[in-house]
Amino acid sequence: MSAGLPTRWPPGARTAHAPGYLLARHVPLPFLPRGLTLARQVAGWLPPGSPTGAAPVGVDPGAVRSWLAAARAHAQILGPPPDLPAFLGLLADGVIRSETAARTLLVTAGAGDASDPRILIDLADWTGTRLPIEVIPVGRRHGRPVQVYAACAAGLARARALAAAWLRQRGVLAPDRLTRYLLEDGIRLELDDTGTDLRDILAITGTAQWVWSRSSRSNSLATTLHRLAGLDRDLPVSRIPEALYRSAVPRRDQIAGEWPPPLDAIRVWAGADPRWSVTAHDQLRYLGPVPPMRSVDQVMAAVLSEHGPVLAWHQLRDLLVGTGMSPALADVSITRSPLLYRQESGGYRLLA
């Protein structure tokens, strides 16, 4: 670090101007102003997609890193600007925030150049200021890390576990429904309005309108449809909600627009899953190898194929019992099987 640099912040110094103040004193004059942009690029302080322009002639990344190292050493001597702890405290209110939400909060509070949470956190690190929050990496987007700002990693883990539990039950949910359920459990989220932040933070997938678990093993819609794929027939989308409702264990009350999932949600999910497609006749077609059927499903399909296509409850029960199935299992199978579709007349037929 050059001799003669200030050892204290100037009177009235604020966090809003601190990053620029530090860089301006350690980028050599011949390389200004482009050297400032290059330093911010190497530090990771530029917003995604920001134009950087050509690097000043004669400057290599090693020189830029030396400028940043000198700025950091200077910051350690200066210590934190007086208002830095207050800005960090804004992020320590128990809310789990995306980078977009954290930036919005800091901009509103007047953090200026440090409104980018990455810059604010680096400034705290450079000045030896204790962080009252945790910065948690949750993936990458457009080639750069995606970070979450939360009081602790355990809070994020709990939010993910609760989200996984809801999606395991419902299969597909609208994002606002999911965040409402999390809020009822004390999980507060602040995100962007595109749904991308929600999916990154909760480790789920989907669209701006619907979200679901990344794993088909923990998705009631996926598991039920995989079972129905054993019929080796196209499945009418209109009959899928009843199949989900019938086969849910434990049985859950219907909730309009949520459970069973609306038809649009089922179409969106199937359209995004490589194993399924939605036909022009609004049917779901399984694109993979036909999975083996459960033994009880084989019996059910065989009975209806031979004696159907429509059977009354007592007829279907008697025929199932006649195959060697116990009366209790026959009753449960008729009540719970997703393969069955109950007609308005009361008779039962195969869903497809």
Amino acid letter, residue 153: A
Q: For tokens 């949520």, what's the residue?
A: 258
Looking at residues 40-61, what average pLDDT do you find? 73
- Mean pLDDT value of segment 61-85: 95
Give the list of residues 6+ apart from residue 323 with CB closer than 8 angstroms, or none: 299, 303
How far is Cα 101 from Cα 20, in angstroms, rounded to an integer? 23
Q: Identify the pLDDT of residue 195.
A: 85
pLDDT digits (tens, 9 = 90+) for 117-143: 999 999 999 999 999 999 999 988 877
Residue 58 pLDDT: 63
Residue 193 has pLDDT above 80, yes or no: no
Rounded CA-CA distance 331/62 in Å is 75
User: Which of the four pLDDT bands, split at 50, 70 and 90, describes residue 338?
Assistant: very high
Pick the residue with more confidence: 88 or 218? 88
d(Cα 232, Cα 351) in Å, to the nearest integer?
12
Round the average pLDDT of the chain to a whole number and report it: 92
| pLDDT (mean) for 299-317 | 95
For residue 131, the 8-state DSSP code is P
Residue 325 contacts residue 333 (beta carbons within 8 Å): yes
| Arithmetic mean of pLDDT, 311-339 | 96
The more confident residue out of 149 and 31 is 149
| pLDDT, position 56 | 56
Residue entry with tokens 């990458």: 140
User: Tell me, what's the pLDDT at 219?
Assistant: 86
Tokens describing residue 283: 């049917």
pLDDT-derived band at 276, boundaries 50, 70, 90: very high
Please give the pLDDT value at position 236. 97
What pLDDT sits at residue 43?
92
- pLDDT band for position 345 (cuts 50, 70, 90): confident
State yes or no: pLDDT of 333 exceeds 90.
yes
Distance of CA 196 to the CA centre of its chain: 7
pLDDT of residue 351: 93
**Per-residue pLDDT band at 92 (split at 50, 70, 90):** very high
pLDDT band at 261 (very low <50, low <70, confident <90, very high): very high
Q: Is the pLDDT of residue 184 over 90?
A: yes
Residues in CB range of 170: below 8 A, 6 or more apart = 220, 258, 259, 261
User: What pLDDT is stored for residue 352 in this prediction?
Assistant: 87
> Residue 108: is its pLDDT beyond 80?
yes
Q: What is the pLDDT confidence band of residue 267, given thresholds at 50, 70 and 90?
A: very high
Listed range (77-91, 169-183, 248-262, 270-284) with the worst mean pLDDT: 248-262
- Give mean pLDDT, residues 91-108: 95
Q: Lowest-pLDDT range, 18-32, 35-49, 284-298?
A: 35-49
Asked if residue 4 has pLDDT above 80, the reply is: no
The 10s digit of each residue's pLDDT in 233-259 is 999 999 999 999 999 888 888 999 999
Cβ partners under 8 Å of residue 288, min gap 6: 229, 275
Contact in structure between 244 and 221 (CB atoms under 8 Å): yes
Q: Region 212-232: what's the mean pLDDT?
A: 90
pTM for the full predicted model: 0.86
Using the predicted structure, report yes or no on whether residue 54 has a pLDDT greater than 80: no
Q: How confident is the model at residue 194 (pLDDT cuts 50, 70, 90)?
A: confident
DSSP code for 311: B
